[in-house]
Structure formats: structure tokens, C-alpha cells
A and B are shown apart, each in its own frame.
Chain A
């Protein structure tokens, strides 16, 4: 196996974790809670989003258990409604939106652009506190009885017809939104103003481009959601407002405002994931990303087009047929950049020198699942088939293929990829590869049957369903069990590796990014001196020359 791997570890007998690094620089709880260091904030984020991921995951488990049988026997319908609502809210606003940007992005973007920190470290810390506050309010919401609006807060259901904790849930999302705005803002400023000498826009790693595009969406889209939630909360408290038709409002206005954020939000979630895939695929095929410019601009194209497709969530809601026509056309256009990315990644492998470490396995899994997720998006973007498929399990499956099959795979790829940099240690390779395969199998078993259920017409958000849908639901629940194991394993072995993992050295994957040219874990200032970028991104020949020089000098 040794020849089939690029892992290049220092000699275990002499290797030591550098004494001075961002983890050991200061000690004590306060040094963490008041830190301005982007790497420490990223670590705080990693711990907190993992926590919320497992809460959301447990809720997902409850949903699947309930759907094992056609009757609503495990939970009553109102409990079920609360469970899927909390699952959606937690997974979207407390896991998916901050997952890659706030953890991996926070950790590597300053290093990738050759800066000592993000431009606004205090704002970065504020963003984490807002996130924790949002999480706290969300947990409070759950404690006092939950909320059952669905994550979409659909008015007038949310404004007048439910007596659950809509206000505190709305508040949690509002606060989480500002956390996300501040992260996005920080990234944009950092990428614009903090690049090191020689780091031109087209020398930036594609991960930076992807996060830049996602940040634009965060900064411009999230405030619209914030104001929408303010209006919902006001309408709920004083019983007059702009959404409920009984009070002279327009429920479609709510849909427009909500989806104006929430459609771009799915690009906020997936774009950083795509950035991870670009890094991973390039590194493990030892080759620059095929069509760098095309991949970079396709991210920006997704961000731009992403703002003009929101009404495709409303095709059957009585918007004018011609509006549907326009939004359908724009939806087809936004699908193209994703296709471009997929093919560019595939061709990055061409004439490479490929190895299959864990991050690469996740990345390859991403490509397959994201292709399915993306293509089924066309089914929903084409107005005709959307009529039949929307609001059914087809949408649920499509969304999970993109978000779980796509984003979560990318997140895990990223975590496994940058883990040695983050902690200075390797995780056990065989178990992690096994976990990647388990995740892949479990995922397909869980969500593929849901496409068929959707085609059969099974509506989403049903606590009870006609018995003819049971077989496929049983498959789905069985798959979810496998998937759960797949997600638990990394937590176990990654925690194990913190103490017992092999010392990784500064560049175990032989990757080219600037973050790999410094020690692992990095210093608080990232670099001993500010680097000067004198080569293109993904220049493996430069890396070889560099290493040859080091060997010669030793």
C-alpha cells in the first residue's frame, strides 16, 4: 500500500508536535472565549456545530423511526411536526449554513491568502457568540415545547394558526442570520484586502473563490430573511401585518421574501463544499484543477444567478404562468455552472497520479451524489414535472442528495483533509476509509427510495401515510441506521486521534496551498513571515522544487 499513497509523514521516532502553536500558545478557558485567533474560533465553531449536528441527527432518527409504519404510532402528529421542524431549523441554520465556511473556511482562508488573521477578528468572535446565542434560543425553543411551522415559517400558518413557540424560533434564526452575515462580511473583506504580496485573484485557491461567492450571498440575502422574520414576529404579536390575507396582507409576499433568501441559502450551503472538493481532488491527483478559471467563475455565476431563481419554489402557488416561465429558464441557467464544475473535477483526474485517501473517497462520493442531486433539480426546475413532483418526497430526496450527499460529504472530506493541519495528527486511515464507504452506502439506501416515493406522490411532512408506501419507507429507515453509524465513526476516531494519532508533519498530503507550507498545528500568526506568492495555485512542480531545495539545504 505504501506506494499507492502520497502520505508523507515525518519519522515517528523523532517527530514532535511543535511546542509553540495556536493550541498551546495560551491556556485556560478565557484564552479561548476571548480569542481573536481565527483558528481558535474555527475550533470553537467545529465543536458547536458538531453538537448541533448530532441533535439534528437524533431528530432525523426520530423522523425515520416514526415513518417505519404507516400510522403515526411512535409520536402523535403534532409531535412529529415539531420534530421535523426542529430537524430542519437546526440542520439548516445551525449546521449547514455555518458548516464549511465557519469551521474550515475560518481555519484555512486567512492562511490560503497568506494573512495572519481574518480582517476583523473581533467581529469573527462576535459571530461565534451570536451563533451560540442562536443555538441557545433554539434549544430553549425545544425545551419549552418546540415549534411546528416547518423550517419555512409559512405565513399565515406561522402568524396566526399555530400556538407553538414561533417567536423564539424566529428569533433564533434571526440571530443565526447575523452570525452568518458577519462571517460572510469578514471573508469578503479578507479576500479583498488581506492577500499577501503576489497573491493575485487568479492565484487564489478555488476554495477561496467558492467561499467568496457564498459570502456575497450571505451578505446580500440573509438580511432579507431577517426582516421577513421581524415582520412575521410583529404580525404574530400584534395581529396586524402584511402577510395574512384575513388582515389585508398578501401571503405570496411572504413566499417571495422568504425564498429570496432561502433559495440563495442553498448555494450558501453548497458553494463552500464545492470549494473543498476542488482542493481535495487536485491534491490527491497531484495535478492542477482542470480549467481553473472556469471553476472559479462558475462559483461566481452560481452566486449571481442564484439570486434570480427564487420563485421556482412557487410554481404551483398561483404566480402568473409567465413569471413561472422566466424563473424556470433562469433555473436552467443556474444548473449549468454546476455541470461545468463536475466535468472539470472529473477531468482533473485525467493524467493525474491518483491516490485514494479518505478525503478523496468522500470527494468521489460527493461527485456521484451531487450529480444525482443536481440532475433531479432539473426535474423540479422544469415547470411541467415540478407540478407533479414538488411538495413530495422527491423534493426531500433531491434536497438531501444535494445537502447531505453533497454538502455533508464535502464537509467530511474537508475535515479529514485539514485535520492533520488542524491538530498536527493523523487519524487511522483504514477506519476512516471504512466510514466513508459506510456513509456512502447508508446515504443511498436512505434517500434513493425517497425519489420513488415522491414519484408515487407521497407528500412530505406526513406523520401518517397510506400503507402502500411502507416498503420503501422501511428501506429508507434501514438506510438511516447505516448512515447514523457512518456519522458516529468519525467522531470516535477523530477524538481518538487527538491523543494517539501519528504526528502528521507540516504537509502530509504534499499539497500546494500556503496553509500546508507552515507548521501543523500552525502558529497563532500562521506564518513566521508573510509569504510571497510567486507561483500559480496548484503548482506541484513548484512544490517539488521547494522540497528538493529543503533537502539540499539540510
Chain B
């Protein structure tokens, strides 16, 4: 028994019988956690779909006020970050330390870029009085011509006052969903920072890739949530 313990690689936790078991268990745990996250976002998606069904015109016209350009850019940024992270995992598996650090740093930067762009978009909503509860006015929807750039593109019909109020509902869900997603990004970036430090010290290029790989799962998952948010919030019924 004692000699077996001495053969353990240093990263194997004492209560696991083998590295394979450790990897299996933590990997499985990560998938379960993601399942939990699916249910968590599921509640938000349900609320969104019901409200959209009820207040369809308000949701359509409110979605016109999001910036397709920034939304698409952000999607691209996020997908690229997933790619760089996947490359990072590959580097870790093939024990390329500098490659790993480079990929992680790239991912880190792309994550920050995503958040910055998200910040720009939120700021635009703040300027346009589209922040529910804090700074909101439905004037843009009662009289769409007030915002000529958007009016030129979509020729929105004026919403009746009752329906125009419901655009606040859209922006409530927009902020709740993108905010919850951004929160996950922030958590992800913090963990990424920690991983970069460890990777720099060479912790993941000696055969121990579990942590990087599991973090990758999380990062891809957050990415996938965005892949659902983007069409739901920005794209559908763009042109009716």
C-alpha cells in the first residue's frame, strides 16, 4: 500500500485510486454542474418565451434597438475564445507550456473584449433610456421616428401606449439574461487568471490536464448559452 502511494503523481488526490478515476470523476462532476446551469438558464428562457409570446410586437420592436453589429462581433469574439481555449487544452495535453500560456492569455483577452463590448452595448441602452427600472422611457416605441437611424432601417409602426410599456419587459429580460451570462463570464475570467498563473508555473504541462479541460467545458458552456441568447435577443423577427 505504502509503496503504491509513492508512485502517485503529485497531482493525484489521496482519495482516488488512480489518475484515470480522478479524471473521470471530476469530468463527470463538471458535466453535472453544467446540467445544473442548463436548468438555471432554463427558467430565464421559459420566462422569455412566454413573455415574447404575449407581447410579440413590443419584443420585436425593442429588439430592433439592439446593435446587430456589436452582437455579431461579440459572438465571433466568444467563438474565437472557445477556439483558443480548445487549442490551449490541446497544448496542455501535448505538454507545450508556452503554447498553453499563449492560448490562455488570448482567451483571457477575448473574454475581456467580450465584456467590454457588452459594456458598450449596455451603455448605449443607458443613453437611450432603455434600462428598466432605473432609466426607462418608452418614447422611442410610441414614436419610432424619434430614433431616425433605427426607423430608417426597420420602419417600425408606432406601438400603442399599452404595448409600448411592454418593451420594458423585453429590456428587463435582456438585462437579466445578458447580465447573468456576463456574471458567468466574469467568474470564468477570474478562474482563467488563476489558471494562467498556474500554467506559467508549469502545473498543467506535466500530464495533469483535468483542471484545464474541465474549465474548458465551463467556458464552452457559457459560450453555448450566448449562442442561444444571441438569436433570441438580437436576431429573430429582425425583419418582419
Interface residues in chain A, defined as those with a beta carbon under 8 Å from any beta carbon in chain B = 115-121, 123, 181, 185-186, 188-190, 192-194, 219-224, 226-228, 230-231, 234, 237-242, 247-250, 253, 257, 525, 529-530
Contact with A along B138-166 (1 / 0, CB 8 A): 00000000000000000000000000011
Extra contacts besides A237-B133, A238-B132, A529-B1 (19): CB < 8 Å:
A119-B29, A121-B13, A121-B15, A190-B25, A223-B42, A227-B41, A227-B42, A230-B180, A231-B44, A239-B133, A240-B133, A240-B168, A242-B47, A242-B172, A242-B173, A248-B55, A248-B165, A250-B54, A525-B14
Known contacts being A193-B21, A253-B47, is A248 close to B15, with CB within 8 Å? no
| Total A-B Cβ pairs within 8 A | 112
Say whether B50 contacts A253, CB under 8 Å. yes
Say whether B169 contacts A185, CB under 8 Å. no
B189 contacts the other chain (Cβ, under 8 Å)?
no
Nearest CB of chain A from residue B34's CB, rounded to whole Å: 11
Q: How far is the CA of A181 from the CA of B50 in the complex (A)?
A: 27
B33 contacts the other chain (Cβ, under 8 Å)?
yes
Say whether B29 contacts A120, CB under 8 Å. yes
**Cβ contacts under 8 Å, B24 to chain A:** 193
Q: How far is the CA of A530 from the CA of B44 in the complex (A)?
A: 45
Known contacts being A222-B36, A227-B43, A227-B44, is A189 close to B29, with CB within 8 Å? yes
B7 contacts the other chain (Cβ, under 8 Å)?
no
Say whether A224 contacts B29, CB under 8 Å. no
Nearest CB of chain A from residue B91's CB, rounded to whole Å: 26
- Tally of contact residues, B, Cβ under 8 A: 41
Closest 10 CB pairs of A and B: A238-B133, A227-B43, A223-B40, A117-B15, A116-B15, A193-B25, A223-B39, A119-B25, A189-B29, A240-B132
Nearest CB of chain A from residue B33's CB, rounded to whole Å: 6
Chain A residue with minimal CB distance to B40? A223
Nearest CB of chain A from residue B17's CB, rounded to whole Å: 7
B109 contacts the other chain (Cβ, under 8 Å)?
no
B26 contacts the other chain (Cβ, under 8 Å)?
yes
**Cβ contacts under 8 Å, A231 to chain B:** 43-44, 47, 176
Say whether B36 contacts A219, CB under 8 Å. yes
Known contacts being A181-B36, A227-B40, A248-B169, is A242 close to B51, with CB within 8 Å? yes
Nearest CB of chain B from residue A361's CB, rounded to whole Å: 36
Q: How far is the CA of A219 from the CA of B36 in the complex (A)?
A: 6
Say whether B172 contacts A241, CB under 8 Å. yes
Say whether A240 contacts B36, CB under 8 Å. no
Q: How far is the CA of A249 from the CA of B134 in the complex (A)?
A: 18
**Cβ contacts under 8 Å, A186 to chain B:** 29
**Cβ contacts under 8 Å, A237 to chain B:** 133
Contact with A along B161-190 (1 / 0, CB 8 A): 000011011001100100010000000000
Contact with A along B114-135 (1 / 0, CB 8 A): 0000000000000000001110
Q: How far is the CA of A247 from the CA of B173 in the complex (A)?
A: 13
B28 contacts the other chain (Cβ, under 8 Å)?
yes
Known contacts being A224-B43, A529-B1, A530-B17, is A185 close to B55, with CB within 8 Å? no
**Cβ contacts under 8 Å, B165 to chain A:** 248
Say whether A219 contacts B35, CB under 8 Å. yes
Chain B residue with minimal CB distance to A116? B15
B46 contacts the other chain (Cβ, under 8 Å)?
yes
B26 touches which of A120, A230, A239, A242 (Cβ 8 Å):
A120
**Cβ contacts under 8 Å, A223 to chain B:** 36-37, 39-40, 42-43
**Cβ contacts under 8 Å, A530 to chain B:** 17
**Cβ contacts under 8 Å, B47 to chain A:** 231, 242, 253, 257
B32 contacts the other chain (Cβ, under 8 Å)?
yes
Q: How far is the CA of A105 from the CA of B29 in the complex (A)?
A: 18
Nearest CB of chain A from residue B215's CB, rounded to whole Å: 15
**Cβ contacts under 8 Å, B136 to chain A:** 240
**Cβ contacts under 8 Å, A226 to chain B:** 40
Chain B residue with minimal CB distance to A250? B50
Most buried by A among B13, B35, B172, B176: B172
Nearest CB of chain B from residue A12's CB, rounded to whole Å: 33
Q: How far is the CA of A22 from the CA of B1 in the complex (A)?
A: 20
**Cβ contacts under 8 Å, B54 to chain A:** 248, 250
Chain A residue with minimal CB distance to B13? A121
Chain B residue with minimal CB distance to A252? B50
Q: How far is the CA of A221 from the CA of B100 in the complex (A)?
A: 37
Chain A residue with minimal CB distance to B133? A238
Q: How far is the CA of A189 from the CA of B176 in the complex (A)?
A: 31
Known contacts being A194-B21, A253-B50, is A119 close to B43, with CB within 8 Å? no
Nearest CB of chain B from residue A516's CB, rounded to whole Å: 20
**Cβ contacts under 8 Å, B28 to chain A:** 189, 192-193
Chain B residue with minimal CB distance to A189? B29
Known contacts being A116-B15, A231-B176, is A189 close to B43, with CB within 8 Å? no
Chain B residue with minimal CB distance to A241? B172
Say whether B133 contacts A219, CB under 8 Å. no
Known contacts being A193-B21, A223-B36, A223-B43, is A238 close to B134, with CB within 8 Å? yes
Say whether B133 contacts A188, CB under 8 Å. no
Query: Mind listing 18 A-B residue pairs with CB under 8 Å?
Result: A116-B14, A119-B15, A186-B29, A189-B28, A192-B28, A193-B21, A223-B37, A227-B40, A227-B41, A231-B44, A238-B172, A240-B169, A241-B172, A242-B47, A248-B54, A249-B51, A253-B47, A253-B50
Q: How far is the CA of A115 from the CA of B133 in the complex (A)?
A: 52
Known contacts being A220-B35, A253-B50, is A115 close to B169, with CB within 8 Å? no
Say whether A220 contacts B166, CB under 8 Å. no
Nearest CB of chain A from residue B22's CB, rounded to whole Å: 9
Say whether A220 contacts B36, CB under 8 Å. yes
**Cβ contacts under 8 Å, A193 to chain B:** 21, 24-25, 28
Q: How far is the CA of A234 from the CA of B29 in the complex (A)?
A: 30
Q: How far is the CA of A239 from the CA of B136 in the complex (A)?
A: 12
Nearest CB of chain B from residue A214's CB, rounded to whole Å: 14
Q: How far is the CA of A188 from the CA of B134 in the complex (A)?
A: 43
Chain A residue with minimal CB distance to B173? A242
**Cβ contacts under 8 Å, A117 to chain B:** 14-15
Say whether A119 contacts B26, CB under 8 Å. yes
Say whether A185 contacts B33, CB under 8 Å. yes
Chain B residue with minimal CB distance to A260? B43
Q: How far is the CA of A192 from the CA of B21 in the complex (A)?
A: 11
Say whether B25 contacts A189, CB under 8 Å. yes
Chain B residue with minimal CB distance to A118? B15
